[in-house]
A and B are shown apart, each in its own frame.
Chain A
Amino acid sequence: MFGLNAKDTSLLLIVAVLTLLAPFILNPFPEGSDLAQFNAGYPDLMQRFVIFGIFAIGFNILFGLTGYLSFGHAAFLGVGSYAAIWMMKLLSLNIIPAIIMSVIFAGLFALAVGFISLRRSGIYFSILTLAFAQMSYALAYSVLTPITGGETGLQIKPTDRPLLSNLADGEIGRANLFGLDMRASYEMEVGGWLFTFNSGYYIAAVVMLLAFYMSIRIFRSPFGMMLRAVKSNQQRMNFTGLNSKPYTLAAFVISGMYAGLAGGLMVAMDTQVGPERMFWTASGEVVLMAILGGVGTLIGPVLGAGLIKYMENILSKINDAILHQWFAFLPDGLENALVYLIHPFIGKGWHLTLGIVFMLVVIFLPGGLVEGGQRIARIFRRKKRTDSAADAAAKTPAE
């Protein structure tokens, strides 16, 4: 189906079902229960899951396939965001032109950066991309203030009169898709559960599914094969008379366009941009996402993006009072000791947990969560096989 083989089709369908049913799946706990804080099914967070999923999928096309580690990918996200917000301020509050513009601008910027950076490889490439991203950040922060809004960034203001949107005087424009407000939600109550279906989330989710489908096609195409050849041995590839530069550059631009798409969607959801979106820690975050999930795999980056955003939003909400509540059944001394021990890892300290998880993954699971899943699956499979082998062995002597 869709030009994919059976395995990929089923993967795509599973992802599609999961994303479309996410408001149910991410809200497993009834409203008002103690565990309700682990619910991730609210629109803001779900939007972030899919948008950062797109960002990570794009990063994975570059890093996973070609092995070029870019440390400046957030710059493309930022450029896309700025392009999108300007389209909304000037042309139309409809998100479609904004997103198209963000992809185009990010692509052009990626073309320029990639053309220069790809002249080097290895750590030099990482430093070059980092340098470009930091330059964009510094410029957006200071000199380009008329375009970027400097430190405060850009928002849609009551004074903005986009050409194609007829707003009443003083009405603040809202991002929409042919009149469908991005913030419109339908809430459904079933028993104690509250499920929110947000139009912005579903639009972002559909875009992510398209992006995911595209990335499967790229992975399975001759072009993807060529990129893998670059990763495994670029020198040998050059010896065979192939110029690898157009392929790596194309991968770089595609992945920059994915970042721009994510940036455009981000603006479509919250209609604001700030330069901190381009800071190198943001670039580092997408690296973390891809590695945590599993670099070079199809589904890994999406999982990694989901995991990090979940930790960022849920772990950081837990505080000491909640911990005390959980461990209330323990004797007081033990309870306090446990809370004291766990305290640095939660709330504002969630980065510590992230860092430790990340290190453990890099050390023990270089293939990320996907490899972890495969290993677990293999253990079960092996057990079955040894069982049948043992059966066979038990039978033979009996003859």
Chain B
Amino acid sequence: MDAIILQFLNGLDKGSAYALIALGLTLIFGTLGVVNFAHGALFMIGAFCAVTLQRLLSLSHQIVDETQKDFLGNPLKVDVPYVHDWFGPAAGQTIIEWSVPLAILFAIPVMALVGVIMERGLIKHFYKRPHADQILVTFGLAIVLQEIIKAFYGANPIPTPAPPAFTGSFDFGAFIGLDPNTIIYPYWRLIYFAFAMSVIAAVFAFLQFTTFGMVVRAGMADRETVGMLGINIDKRFTVMFAIAACVAGLAGVMYTPINSPNYHMGMDFLVLSFVVVVVGGMGSLPGAVLAGFLLGVLESFASLGVVIDLIPGINQIIIYLVAIVILLTRPRGLMGRKGVMEE
């Protein structure tokens, strides 16, 4: 029982990442009709926003501390971050430790800017070209973006710890009345799940309850008619692209404490996210979210010891296997609408 709950929880955080990336992919596909292979790169850029902010906050100058001596007896030189000077040592240190959550604020404008530049600068010119061309050019863009990041940050993963307040683990077993210490779950993963849920809820609320969202939904259903009503739908779709980029970026920012970011993390997630989108149904937002969590949880259940003993290697291939079965039995995916990219 506790093993099952634990695997379920373990699946949630990966599922959250899949769901967020797949949500952005589907937003872009549903609005602009573009298959964006560079979406994983956006996830990665988001993660590196957190790294950048951490480095910016830790910028420091050297002072000579007379009270401390090094092993030769000389006064010790210590690095003092500028934030320590500005906010005092205690508050300054807290700010540095909280750089990952703070990076959310930093990442939103950065990702929105990156999204707008990408859409206006490149993808705009590919609306009328075949899907294969869109895949190829965004694939090229993904390579370029990830190599640029590699040139600046190097090829090694960069550790970006969560704030100390969240580094511990949560005794989930005791919380739901099982024996203590049976289900131990890191706080940060719970936070990641909650964060993912609120971002998803925000995106859905935005689309459902605002006039802007209504127009966008109308545009997704029938772009031409909305355009003929005198609405500048292209502008709104650009905004949606920026929002999708932000969603991917935020997923990346919050994922950094779980996995230290490196330049190819985007590609690793992208392949799986595409599978998620296709399983959920091309163009269906709830489908993408549902499939994201479903596949995340399935993947984690497949890595249970019992299951692996039964079918060796299943944890490595379960997602692809599910995708193949779903694609062949339900051509539109779980929740795909009729007529959207059926061929």
A interface vs B, CB < 8 Å?
Answer: 67, 69, 116, 119-124, 126-128, 130-132, 134-135, 138-139, 141-144, 280-281, 284, 287, 291, 344, 348-349, 351-352, 354-356, 358-359, 362-363, 366
What are the interface flags for B128-157 relative to A under an 8 Å C-beta threshold, 1 for contact and 0 otherwise?
010111011101111110011011000100
How many Å from the CB of B275 to the closest CB on chain A?
6
Alpha-carbon gap, A130 to B319, bound state (A): 12
Chain A residues contacting B229 (CB-CB under 8 Å) are none
Cross-chain contact A124 with B327 (CB below 8 angstroms) = yes
Alpha-carbon gap, A351 to B125, bound state (A): 24
B214 at interface by CB-CB < 8 Å: no
How many Å from the CB of B274 to the closest CB on chain A?
6
- Which of B129, B136, B321, B327 counts the most chain A CB atoms within 10 A? B136
Chain A residues contacting B274 (CB-CB under 8 Å) are 127, 130
Partner of A349, one of B122, B150, B320: B150
Residue of A nearest to B141 (CB): A359
What are the interface flags for B303-339 relative to A under an 8 Å C-beta threshold, 1 for contact and 0 otherwise?
0000000001100110011011001100100000000
B271 at interface by CB-CB < 8 Å: yes
Residue of A nearest to B143 (CB): A355
Alpha-carbon gap, A97 to B143, bound state (A): 39
B interface vs A, CB < 8 Å?
Answer: 35, 122, 125, 129, 131-133, 135-137, 139-144, 147-148, 150-151, 155, 267, 271, 274-275, 278, 282, 312-313, 316-317, 320-321, 323-324, 327-328, 331, 341, 343
Cross-chain contact A139 with B140 (CB below 8 angstroms) = no
Cross-chain contact B278 with A355 (CB below 8 angstroms) = no
How many Å from the CB of B36 to the closest CB on chain A?
12
20 additional A-B residue pairs with CB within 8 Å, beyond A131-B321, A366-B129: A116-B328, A122-B131, A122-B343, A124-B278, A124-B331, A124-B341, A126-B135, A127-B274, A128-B324, A131-B324, A134-B271, A134-B317, A134-B320, A135-B317, A141-B316, A144-B313, A349-B150, A351-B147, A352-B151, A354-B143
Interface residues of A, dominant DSSP: helix
Alpha-carbon gap, A120 to B137, bound state (A): 23
Q: How many A-B residue pairs have CB under 8 A?
A: 109
Residue of B nearest to A295 (CB): B132
Interface residues of B, dominant DSSP: helix
How many Å from the CB of B287 to the closest CB on chain A?
14
Alpha-carbon gap, A41 to B61, bound state (A): 53
Cross-chain contact B341 with A143 (CB below 8 angstroms) = no
Cross-chain contact A132 with B144 (CB below 8 angstroms) = no
Chain A residues contacting B133 (CB-CB under 8 Å) are 362, 366
- Which of B129, B140, B142, B312 counts the most chain A CB atoms within 10 A? B140
How many Å from the CB of B289 to the closest CB on chain A?
19
Chain B residues contacting A142 (CB-CB under 8 Å) are 313, 316
Cross-chain contact B313 with A351 (CB below 8 angstroms) = no
Residue of A nearest to B312 (CB): A143
- Which of A130, A135, A344, A354 counts the most chain B CB atoms within 10 A? A135
Whether A127 touches B143, Cβ cut-off 8 Å, given contacts A134-B320, A139-B313, A362-B136, is no
Alpha-carbon gap, A353 to B136, bound state (A): 16
Cross-chain contact B327 with A67 (CB below 8 angstroms) = no
Cross-chain contact A359 with B144 (CB below 8 angstroms) = yes
Cross-chain contact B316 with A138 (CB below 8 angstroms) = yes
Alpha-carbon gap, A287 to B143, bound state (A): 13
How many Å from the CB of A36 to the closest CB on chain B?
27
Partner of A127, one of B148, B151, B327: B327
